[in-house]
Amino acid sequence: MSVVQEELSLKDRVLQLKKEKNAVILAHYYQEPEIQEVADFIGDSLELAKKAAATTADIIVFAGVHFMAETAKILNPTKKVLLPDLKAGCSLAESCPPEAFQKLKDQYPDHVVVTYINCSAEIKAMSDLVCTSSNAEKIINSIPADRKIIFAPDKNLGKYLIDVTGREMLLWDGACIVHEAFSLDKLIDLSIEYPKAKIIAHPESESHILQVANYIGSTSGMLNYVKTSDYDTFIVATEAGILHQMQLDVPHKTLIPAPAKEDNSCACSECAFMKMNTLKKLYDCLEKEGPEIRLEEELIEKALVPIKRMLEV
Ligand code: 13P
Ligand code: SF4
């Protein structure tokens, strides 16, 4: 069997198994193209959480990272939520351990705690509100002006929110390794080479990158901007996996990945955690119905509160 046939048959087997088991595959834009191709829905963190909340499937296969699958489990405690590789973590989520975060909370008991969805279930359970990159501004603006705010774990998104909302916030010192890897010097060189290119960036990027961006938004926001813009060339400062869907949406436009500080084979930034999921692992997890996300009932109940508040806002 040729490599192409093997790949095709694996895809077909995933699709068949998914039907037999009444499973739904939810995939993030940073997943490998072959995973995005078998997904029932591809989206940003907010859209995926909403899909997870609304699904009637018996099994949710989450092609993304651990905190995303955990969120799906919190929203569907009675359903089986599978993650093809349990080691698919997130540098941001890992930057905020619950014990240390509790110490900060104890120091500022009068603060409203807002956490970016890229955190563990334990951190969510310690929060008043959860947000994603697409609703963060709205969530911060929903908090009464006289209330003080702790924002965790992403300091870059936090700084951006301070800028756009004008709110004072106490920031946790966490960051995404992928979005902190963009090189400003190389980005400037690239925009000199392509003077008509628009720079679009995810708000997890560092301030100096956001300062030169023409558009800042979530993965879905960036896709929408490129689709609806009159411009033809874009330098894309987020994880390179998004380029697959983006190029499908705008086949006639030129998309250039923002360059990373370190030289690598693709001259772009990839999230090693997201890329831990493969089509083969996805097939195996559907077949074996594992690895499964398991959380204590009490943790689910506590973590659900700020997620529900976010979905209501
Ligand atoms: P989005 O919610 O914008 O898709 O971001 C998720 C993420 O992990 C970005 O690194
Ligand atoms: Fe986490 Fe960054 Fe990977 Fe997103 S790109 S999952 S924030 S490590």
Q: Give the CATH number, domain containing residue 56.
A: 3.40.50.10800
Q: What total of structural domains would you count in the chain?
A: 3
* pTM for the full predicted model: 0.95
DSSP label at residue 261: S
Report percent pLDDT > 70 for the chain.
96
Do 142 and 194 reside in the same domain of the chain? no
- Can you say how many angstroms the Cα of residue 50 is from the centroid of all Cα atoms in its chain? 13
Query: Is residue 55's pLDDT more than 60?
Result: yes
Q: How many CB atoms are located within 10 Å of the residue 128 CB?
A: 16
Do 164 and 96 reside in the same domain of the chain? yes
Do 74 and 23 reside in the same domain of the chain? yes
- Which of 91, 202, 243, 246, when mutated, tests ligand 1's pocket best, judged by the most ligand atoms within 8 Å of its CB? 202
Confidence (pLDDT) at 3: 60
Q: In this predicted model, what pLDDT tens digit does every residue of 177-204 receive, in sequence order?
A: 999 999 999 999 999 999 999 999 999 9
Average pLDDT over residues 244-272: 89
247 falls within a domain: yes
Average pLDDT over residues 208-226: 98
Residue nearest to atom 8 of ligand 1 (CA): 118
Question: Is 133 marked as a binding-site residue?
Answer: yes
Query: Is residue 2's pLDDT more than 60?
Result: no
- Which of 176, 182, 206, when mutated, tests ligand 2's pocket best, judged by the most ligand atoms within 8 Å of its CB? 176
Six token digits for residue 162: 């301070």
Question: Is 191 marked as a binding-site residue?
Answer: no
Average pLDDT over residues 233-258: 98
φ and ψ at residue 272, rounded to 5 degrees: -65, -30
Do 65 and 101 reside in the same domain of the chain? no
Do 235 and 306 reside in the same domain of the chain? no
Query: Is residue 7's pLDDT more than 60?
Result: no
User: CB neighbours of 114 closer than 8 A, spacing ≥ 6?
Assistant: 127, 128, 129, 130, 131, 139, 140, 143, 149, 150, 151, 152, 169
Task: Please give the angle made by the CA atoms of 260, 266 and 269, to the nearest 5 degrees.
Answer: 40
Do 164 and 305 reside in the same domain of the chain? yes
- The closest alpha carbon to 117, from 74, 59, 85, belongs to 74
Q: How many CB atoms are located within 10 Å of the residue 229 CB?
A: 15
Round the average pLDDT of the chain to a whole number and report it. Answer: 96
CA distance 144 to 157: 20
Domain that holds residue 157: 92-175+300-312
- Can you say how many angstroms the Cα of residue 273 is from the centroid of all Cα atoms in its chain? 11
Six token digits for residue 220: 């879905």
DSSP label at residue 197: P
Bridge partner list, 113: 150
DSSP label at residue 240: T
Do 28 and 99 reside in the same domain of the chain? no
